[in-house]
Homo-oligomer: A and B are copies of this chain.
Amino acid sequence: MATARTTRHRVLVVGAGFGGLAVARSLRRTEVDVTLVDQHNFHTFQPLLYQVATAGLSAEDVAHQIRGIVRVHGNVRFRMGRVSDFDLDRRRVLLDDGEALSYDSLVLAAGAVYGDYGIPGVLEHAFMLKSLHEAVDLRSHIIRQFEAAALDERASDEGRLTFAIAGAGPTGVEMAGALVELFAVVRKDYPELAGTRPRVVLIEPTGAVLPPYTPATRAYAERTLRRRGVEVRLETAVRRVAPEWIELGDGEVLSTRTLIWAAGVRAHPLTERLGVPLGPGGRVPVSAHLHLPDRPEVFVIGDAAGVLGDDGRPHPQVAQVAIQMGKHVGRTILERLRGSTSAPFRYRDRGQMAIIGRSAGVAELSRQLGGGRFGGFLGWLAWLFVHLIYLPGHQNRVNAMATWIYNFFTYDRHARLVLDRREQAAEAVRTATAPRPGAAGDGVGGDGTEVREPVFR
């Protein structure tokens, strides 16, 4: 397929996230051949994964199959496969099924994974929200906690109904707000739990929620979360994670079987196979044109790209940066083929937005766009509108909009389904046996951690 001899310039794009799709789109109906590689046959709309995890949207609503997106482009092909290595000297990308794909230009758009900052237990026991499967697993796990608690009088003591979130950035805040709303529905499902109240604990090492936002927005977000019942723990770090408790920076041990890790990302491990020294967060240092310094045909974009913005700081790892980088690389490749030179990449910051929950969103326009700021109902509407626009697939948009309207009026969360395929009853009655650490927190061994099946797949 992509290895066949051709006289056309071959662009190989690794990853069909926001960045990879933007490259493909910017090269559609041009004189180059584009091959887009992804391990999944669908694009995952990551900004809405938290709604899948909290039973608001169906898994299929936030995914769109890649061939449906690229087929209108004519010169873009899709290859389902997992990249295992690069052979940059021979301009080849190796897939784990043994095939090698040749390229003239390579664009690595592999995104990011959650970073654990070396905190013990995070990778084994925390839930993360980067893939559709992880979102469905988290949703299933949450519902299981309620099923198990309904069987067990001591449930609240064991922390089954305590749900902790590490990191109060947009993902953590959105998750906290959505959990509170889910629990309002779920509590009605469990008359057995009438006397208990599920806890949502949002843990943030800095002194504010939504750190990158303006102080007024941060204060609004924190106030709104607290008013809705989220326990906001600022200036608190997570020091250790076990299946049934987490240890905080001040030595406090919080009983919980659910730590959602939203505490920052690092570049996808594939970057390590490029054979170049990596920058902070595993990001690949690239030129202002987004390619490796000594390999102009190898581009890195999106969360994995380490290039500094006008303010001298690395770009935020958000969809807008990836999309703009993807467009820029597409243009750069075409300009090169035409013999002209392209301008360096410059990020046009439009602002940032996050949702706290029902009728409560925050949106801040960038200084370039006038620097406006709005919150509350208007911020919430703006958030829904922007995400509907960017969600790929007409059917997905119809479904998401219908569901949001329905949920708004009924307060319902229809997808409260355990679909994670674990032995159904196994965990439901397994009782806690892992000893809790002493208050002193010696930090080594003996914590009796019971290894849960890893959530990564």
What are 9 A-B contacts defined by CB distance under 8 Å? A1-B151, A42-B417, A60-B417, A65-B189, A68-B416, A81-B425, A99-B151, A396-B414, A402-B402
- Closest 5 pairs (CB-CB, A-B): A395-B414, A58-B60, A67-B189, A97-B429, A58-B58
Q: A39-B424, A132-B419, A190-B67 are in contact. Are A398 and B406 (CB under 8 A)?
A: yes
A240 to B402, CA, bound (A): 46
Q: Which of B80, B151, B403 contacts A425 (CB 8 A)?
A: B80
- Indicate whether A227 reaches chain B with its CB closer than 8 angstroms: no
- Indicate whether A71 reaches chain B with its CB closer than 8 angstroms: yes
A33-86 interface with B by 8 A CB criterion: 39-42, 58-61, 63-65, 67-68, 71, 77, 79-82
- Indicate whether A349 reaches chain B with its CB closer than 8 angstroms: no
Find out whether the CB atom of B133 lies under 8 angstroms from the CB atom of A421.
Answer: yes
- In the complex, which residue of chain B has the Cβ closest to the Cβ of A83? B425
Taken residue by residue from 387 to 414, chain A's Cβ proximity to chain B (1 for < 8 Å, 0 otherwise) reads as 0000001111011001100100010101
Taken residue by residue from 168 to 205, chain A's Cβ proximity to chain B (1 for < 8 Å, 0 otherwise) reads as 00000000000000000000111110000000000000
Assembly stoichiometry (copies)? 2
From residue A62, how far is it (CB to closest CB) to chain B in Å?
A: 11
Find out whether the CB atom of A395 lies under 8 angstroms from the CB atom of B403.
Answer: yes
Q: Which of B59, B77, B399 contacts A59 (CB 8 A)?
A: B59
- Indicate whether A207 reaches chain B with its CB closer than 8 angstroms: no
A50 to B71, CA, bound (A): 26
Determine the chain B residues whose CB is within 8 A of the CB of A63 once the complex forms.
Answer: 417
A255 to B82, CA, bound (A): 28
